[in-house]
A and B are shown apart, each in its own frame.
Chain A
Amino acid sequence: NAGVTQTPKFQVLKTGQSMTLQCAQDMNHNSMYWYRQDPGMGLRLIYYSASEGTTDKGEVPNGYNVSRLNKREFSLRLESAAPSQTSVYFCASSGGAAVSNQPQHFGDGTRLSIL
């Protein structure tokens, strides 16, 4: 039981390049989330998916798109990377009904640098 798996673990991009961060969970959770973590700013929600087939914006969605591919997988795409998107990206998932407060479980993160 791996929990939440993120790929890749590290990535360096040039400004303007695009890439997709992958996230998969094996806990049969309904909800999945993408956060970014910057020094001194805690974790900020980028996008989330309350259930399969739905996605919605979080606090800092600009410059990102997401796809809830199926119940297990939730990807984050940077269409044209900018240096301000240099950050550590965490994916998380939570179980229970879509309308519920359940603990979120995090992946190991993707460390992304944009030059």
Chain B
Amino acid sequence: GENVEQHPSTLSVQEGDSAVIKCTYSDSASNYFPWYKQELGKRPQLIIDIRSNVGEKKDQRIAVTLNKTAKHFSLHITETQPEDSAVYFCAASKLTGGGNKLTFGTGTQLKVEL
């Protein structure tokens, strides 16, 4: 089955700096890559996703890049703010006979310091 590795496990940045979180996946058939943000005690919330037919997607301060050849994708957050502090999860899935079964990375704890 699919295996998703995520690095780093913790990341501390100064407010206003950029943060980058990287994930690799093992199944070359995977074609959907969402990123979720989870605040302490809350539900995971989708912040951005990318499909394999594009290499980059941007939404305000958040961007995701995908390299299908290397089987890795990354989350970029620019101009970080204290409210960006949370755990971020990457995930991967592929089209199957039914539903999209997401395989998640183990998460990155992002701390934005004032």
Chain A interface residues toward B at CB < 8 A? 31, 33, 40-45, 48-51, 54, 56, 58-59, 90, 94, 98-109
Contact = CB atoms under 8 A, between A and B. Distances in A.
Contact of A90 (B44, B46, B98): B44
B86 to A, nearest CB: 14
A31 B49 CA distance: 18
A59 B4 CA distance: 13
26 contacts: A31-B98, A33-B102, A40-B107, A41-B106, A42-B106, A45-B103, A48-B99, A50-B97, A51-B98, A56-B98, A56-B99, A58-B101, A90-B43, A90-B44, A94-B99, A99-B96, A99-B97, A99-B98, A100-B95, A101-B31, A101-B95, A101-B100, A103-B34, A104-B34, A104-B46, A108-B43
Most-contacted residue by chain A among B32, B89, B102, B104 (CB, 10 A) = B102
B24 interface: no
Contacts, number: 73
Per CB-CB distance, the 9 closest pairs between chain A and chain B, nearest first, are A50-B98, A101-B32, A50-B99, A42-B104, A31-B99, A106-B43, A101-B100, A42-B106, A43-B104
Interface of B: 1, 6, 31-32, 34, 42-46, 49, 51, 89, 93-107
Most-contacted residue by chain B among A49, A58, A104, A105 (CB, 10 A) = A104
Given A43-B89, A59-B1, A48 B101 contact: yes
B38 to A, nearest CB: 9
Nearest to B30: A101
B44 A40 contact: no
B42 A108 contact: yes
B3 to A, nearest CB: 11
A39 to B, nearest CB: 10
Given A41-B106, A59-B1, A31 B43 contact: no
